[in-house]
Chain A
Amino acid sequence: MNSKFLRRAASLAVSGLMITSLMAGCNNESKNPDKTADPTQPPVSTDAGQSAKKPEDFTGTLVVGHFNDDEASKLVAAFKEKYPNVDVKLEITADTDGAYQTLITSALRSGQNVPDVYASEVAFVKRFVNLSDGYEDLTPYFEGDLKSKLVPYTIDIGTSDDGKIRALSHQAAAAAVGYKRDMAKQYLGTDDPEEIGKLFSSADEIVKTGKKLQEVSGKKAILFPGMAELMRMYLGARDHAWVEDGKLTIDPKMEEFVDVAKQLRDAGAEGGLPAWEPQWSAAITDDIHFAYAIPTWGVPWIIDANQPEDRKNKGDWGLAKAPAPYTWGGTWFGMYSKSPNKELAWEFIKFITLDEEQSIAWAKKSGDFISNLAAIETLSNDPEMVSETTNQNPYEFFGPMIKDINGAIITEHDDKITNAFQDAMLTYLAGNTTKDQMWAQFKDQVRSDLGDKVTVE
């Protein structure tokens, strides 16, 4: 045997294996993104207070920065249909390891190459909103009270600490409990959203339900796939933010959560699967894990995305009310404070948020839950909006609770503090620390991360 042959064979084998694997399957499925036709001439129903300029009159180039290609390209396409003479350049950088944030921060620092409009996710929007020279104050651009036009908590989040509105969101990421109807019928006797909602209405009820599922199913059915599901719900139920008056504040609800989480884990009612990992995604389709924290975008992106084709849109999921209305996720848009294209930038932001026509069209096309209050009202009565996955109209379901979501409890340090909390909790739930140690570890981490901005006692 020639050693040179072996070496060649090694490399060829790998490449060959790949090629044969590629040819091993002949799955001719193709995915067609649906494209609904927009009305040919949308009426000029823009927000009041602007000059009588028509969309076609706007010209120039707009640079839009985003981290989500799917969302961004569709939004830009919709914008370009209405504003045909505006050239839009889209710059996408995924936020892996915070690369998008670093990019925008670096650009802001140097004052060059900053997109005219750039997006922020809820995890870091507050930081950019509070950054001087980050997002421009939008007050001069609109008239009236935005909170009567857009879901209020989204305005709160987009408001900087000095009270100026700087970023708006085209979505409202209200969230609830998503549950599997089959398992509900089998183990709890009903799949009615109202009834299920009662089972999640308080800490005691939740623990009771978790234990009941285990009993009735012979230890098979697990209430939540992971700890984060209930955590998100509790975060929304707080009255106090993580940081108040510069001090780390632990809302009593979070203390309650720690106990509930431990009870659930010990009773076998929580599966220990980290969110977004393959196993967590796969648990969507199994008959073991019962309920997920599902925000408005969760129906297409958590449930639908993880179901095989033959299980999609069968109405086998339901949405029930969580103990308190909470929010998870969302994307905000603002304009660069030194952008030379502020007029155009405002048109874009206005279009995706305040334009009722666009909001309705966007909701139907993308499955997103929009933040335009008038549109929400209209859609909650629109039978077309009943989701095939849940057999419920999300606008009808979320509409009433959306104004109750508390946007004031979101701070710019939330992401870090919640992560520190989660880390400490995971170790505690695994049984490796006591509750006191858990709190100590949490505080130490927050102190290390934010020590000079937040006092930790």
Chain B
Amino acid sequence: MGKKGAFRLSIGDILLYIFLIGLAVICFLPFYFMIINATHDNAAIARGMNLLPGKYAIDNYLKMKSRVNIWIGFRNSLIVSGVGTALLAYFGTLTAYGFSKYKFVGNKALFWVILCSMMVPPQLSVIGFYDVVQKLKLMNNLLALIIPMIASAQFVYFVKLYLDSALPDSIVESARIDGATEIGIFNKMVLPIASPSIATMGMFNFINSWNQLLIPQIVIRDEKLRTVPIIVANAKGVYRTDFAAAYMAIALSVVPILIAFAFFSKYIIGGVTAGSVKG
């Protein structure tokens, strides 16, 4: 180890590469199977593991399309996850900043309230959630999916953590001395500094909201407002025999997330363009 030549790899390095590449293959394999299965017919899928693409891609796509409209799903999911994440990025960071830099009474207690809200499993909350959405007359409305996204405890926790170490009090102080307004400080200084953490958690949140099924299913009745997971659930057909169409739907539903990931990936912490945080 420690050889200077750029083309000399030690045994350790080679083993490491093998391990990393092996791991990468394991990560990618199920995607591969999914995509391959989406190009086969039901009989081939049931027969076992198929390693190469089949000829039924167009066929499956048409079958799926005749049953569900995945493009509407893309549009709706994009609206919900996109707008929701954007709102979260702003208000969530605002909240994190509030907890991080303002020493108001009850700061710690309220933060624990946020933590505790994460500890109650969401399944039964569906009942109360439904009642609320009904009373607010937001049934069958994408807003019922978007607005709750602002209240992501995980996002606030992480960004607060980041701000605690990345945003020294001194910066805030000097900005105040320079005459900046509080909200101005937030918009012009805090947001940029927090951006790697916002991008990281924002991406997770986008993906998580994209894959949500339980809540959208009970709130959205209108066919035209369905999100992608609802569509994928319907693609199998009631008799659950159309695996090919289902795989096609799943495979297609992953593409936008991959695109979002590729996009966000640049900005998240540890990304090439994002600067590392000063201590």
Task: Answer whether A and B touch in the complex at a CB cut-off of 8 Å.
Answer: yes
A: residues with CB less than 8 A from B are 3-4, 7-8, 11, 14-15, 17-18, 20-31, 67-71, 91-97, 99, 102-103, 106, 110, 112-113, 276, 278-279, 281-283, 285, 301-302, 305-306, 308
Residues of A within 8 A of B164 (CB): none
Q: Is the CB of B53 within 8 A of A99?
A: no
Q: Is the CB of A27 within 8 A of B58?
A: yes
14 A–B pairs (Cβ distance < 8 Å), ordered by A: A4-B272, A21-B38, A22-B57, A25-B59, A27-B59, A31-B62, A91-B222, A94-B238, A102-B126, A113-B221, A278-B243, A285-B43, A306-B241, A308-B41
Check A103/B57 contact, CB under 8 A, given A70-B238, A278-B46: no
Q: Is the CB of A99 within 8 A of B218?
A: yes
Residues of A within 8 A of B272 (CB): 3-4
Q: Is the CB of A27 within 8 A of B241?
A: no
Q: Is the CB of A110 within 8 A of B217?
A: no
**5 tightest A-B contacts by CB?**
A282-B46, A25-B55, A278-B46, A11-B262, A68-B238
A69 vs B239: C-alpha distance in the bound complex, in angstroms?
11
Residue B169 is within 8 A (CB to CB) of chain A in the complex: no
Using a CB-CB cutoff of 8 Å, which residues 53-68 of chain B contact chain A? Answer: 53-59, 61-63, 66-67
> A109: shortest Cβ distance to chain B, in Å?
8
Known: A14-B31, A18-B35. 14 other contacts (CB 8 A): A21-B39, A22-B39, A29-B59, A70-B67, A71-B238, A91-B222, A93-B217, A94-B234, A96-B233, A97-B214, A102-B126, A110-B130, A110-B131, A278-B45
Interface string of B78-117 (1 = CB under 8 A from A): 0000000000000000000000000000000000000000
Residues of B within 8 A of A95 (CB): 238
Residues of B within 8 A of A283 (CB): 46
A324 vs B61: C-alpha distance in the bound complex, in angstroms?
42
A276 vs B265: C-alpha distance in the bound complex, in angstroms?
39
> B53: shortest Cβ distance to chain A, in Å?
4
Q: Is the CB of B241 within 8 A of A112?
A: no
Interface string of B202-226 (1 = CB under 8 A from A): 0000000000011001100111000
B: residues with CB less than 8 A from A are 28, 31-32, 35-36, 38-39, 41-43, 45-47, 53-59, 61-63, 66-67, 126-127, 130-131, 134, 139-140, 213-214, 217-218, 221-223, 230, 233-234, 237-243, 251, 255, 258-259, 261-262, 265, 272
Residues of A within 8 A of B217 (CB): 93, 96, 99, 102-103
Residues of A within 8 A of B223 (CB): 92
| Chain B residue at minimal CB-CB distance from A276 | B240
Check A306/B59 contact, CB under 8 A, given A14-B31, A21-B36, A276-B240: no
Residues of B within 8 A of A110 (CB): 130-131, 134
A309 vs B262: C-alpha distance in the bound complex, in angstroms?
41
Q: Is the CB of B238 within 8 A of A24?
A: no
A26 vs B58: C-alpha distance in the bound complex, in angstroms?
7
Contact of A67 (CB < 8 Å), options: B67, B222, B238, B242: B238
Q: Is the CB of A24 within 8 A of B42?
A: no
A100 vs B33: C-alpha distance in the bound complex, in angstroms?
30
Q: Is the CB of B55 within 8 A of A308?
A: no
Q: Is the CB of A25 within 8 A of B39?
A: yes
A385 vs B217: C-alpha distance in the bound complex, in angstroms?
39
| Chain B residue at minimal CB-CB distance from A301 | B239
Q: Is the CB of A8 within 8 A of B55?
A: no
A91 vs B243: C-alpha distance in the bound complex, in angstroms?
24
A278 vs B239: C-alpha distance in the bound complex, in angstroms?
12
Q: Is the CB of B55 within 8 A of A26?
A: yes
A302 vs B241: C-alpha distance in the bound complex, in angstroms?
8
A93 vs B272: C-alpha distance in the bound complex, in angstroms?
44
Residues of A within 8 A of B240 (CB): 276
A29 vs B35: C-alpha distance in the bound complex, in angstroms?
20
> B69: shortest Cβ distance to chain A, in Å?
11
Q: Is the CB of B61 within 8 A of A22?
A: yes
Residues of B within 8 A of A18 (CB): 35, 251, 255
Q: Is the CB of A281 within 8 A of B42?
A: yes
Residues of A within 8 A of B63 (CB): 31
> A19: shortest Cβ distance to chain B, in Å?
10
Chain A CB within 10 Å, residue with most, of B42, B139, B222, B261: B42
A306 vs B38: C-alpha distance in the bound complex, in angstroms?
16
Q: Is the CB of B58 within 8 A of A22?
A: yes
| Chain A residue at minimal CB-CB distance from B45 | A278
A159 vs B243: C-alpha distance in the bound complex, in angstroms?
36
Chain A CB within 10 Å, residue with most, of B63, B213, B258: B258
Q: Is the CB of A11 within 8 A of B259?
A: yes
Q: Is the CB of A91 within 8 A of B221?
A: yes
Q: Is the CB of B58 within 8 A of A281?
A: no
Residues of A within 8 A of B43 (CB): 282, 285, 306, 308
Residues of B within 8 A of A106 (CB): 127, 130, 218
Q: Is the CB of A24 within 8 A of B57?
A: yes
Residues of A within 8 A of B46 (CB): 278-279, 281-283
Check A301/B53 contact, CB under 8 A, given A18-B251, A22-B39, A102-B218: no
> A171: shortest Cβ distance to chain B, in Å?
13
A31 vs B66: C-alpha distance in the bound complex, in angstroms?
9
Contact of A23 (CB < 8 Å), options: B56, B57, B251: B57
A17 vs B38: C-alpha distance in the bound complex, in angstroms?
12
A15 vs B39: C-alpha distance in the bound complex, in angstroms?
14
Check A281/B241 contact, CB under 8 A, given A21-B38, A31-B62, A106-B127: yes
Contact of B139 (CB < 8 Å), options: A22, A29, A113, A305: A113
Residues of B within 8 A of A71 (CB): 238
Q: Is the CB of B131 within 8 A of A305?
A: no
| Chain A residue at minimal CB-CB distance from B66 | A31
Residues of A within 8 A of B45 (CB): 278, 282
Q: Is the CB of B42 within 8 A of A25?
A: no
Chain B CB within 10 Å, residue with most, of A11, A31, A67, A95: A11
Q: Is the CB of B57 within 8 A of A301?
A: no
